Chain A
Amino acid sequence: MKKHNRRTRALLLALLTAALLLTIYLLGHLIQENAVTGSFLTARQPPSFAHPFGTDALGRDLLLRTVKGLSVSMTVGSAASVISAVIAVFVGIASAIGSRWVDSLINWVIDLVMGVPHTILIILISFALGRGLKGLLIGIAATHWCSLARLIRGEVLQLRSQQYVAVSRKLGKSSGWILIHHLLPHLVPQFFVGLVLMFPHAILHEASISFLGFGLPPEQSAIGIILSESMRYLSIGMWWSAVLPGATLVLIVLLIDRLGEHLRTILDPSSAQE
């Protein structure tokens, strides 16, 4: 075996990626909000050694704001993904083992959530909750569970048709026992992979909605807000305020996406072959 074992390599890369993301996240938390204040003396400076990402129209350092914004994005993204994934597991299991009536009701609800463009649904929810972190979080969480729920429903249906589950049932095990001993162990990897794969979508939605002005208050550091501010200064040539924070966001999203793929390789090697 000259080739490295793909699984070990994936594990290593996953750990590395996770460590990198965690570092950015913690760095963002260490930055105090007042560290990002600036003065007009330093306003609108292109990238330099002192300010690698340049400064914005108020003289604030854009690198600091970006890192701070990323950690906000990650908080919102991870919280929303976790909520969404938990909803997905409950809904998916209920839909698979519930009566036909429950299944078709859930199907209808999924059609409903998919029927309204997510951006508009998040705008509505954010509007209902008075535009802020909470509205953003609930809005993203409420719109991202559908596909994972369908996946889990399919998985549970498939598991339930397996021989050993039928044997357990013949042996008189309760459906609760079957759920805990046979179904959940198989769903745990699905849950984690689904969670991590949902994460980048959640972050992208967070940035988009903040960009539209429905997320965090404008004085906060969020990628969407930085980019929305940058729009006003595009025509006077402040390219750095749009390019660099956005590129960093893309990089982070790609990293998280990679993390999800590595996790899938580790937890569910059969699908990784595709």
Chain B
Amino acid sequence: MDESVVWLTIVVLSVFVGVEVISKVSSTLHTPLMSGANAIHGIILLGAVLVTGSADSTTTLVVGLVATVLATVNLVGGFVVTDRMLQMFTRRRPGGDGR
């Protein structure tokens, strides 16, 4: 199989999976879901690490490091804020009234 066809296959299947896994979500969870998906694309950090690790000039190194910082803010901040939101959804379960 042609390598680019393999990539295309992965993309097409991922599209279906992406739509399928969230198709029945209630509007209550839209915000945390958006925030969680937002965190997941912070994985561009991996790309930033790869290109920065092979930087061969000062300029590319600096640009790469900036990309690394930005991507980490996205990744770490995204997961932390999503967790904070979800914490509020789960805390009230036992006993109903937390006060």
A binds B: no
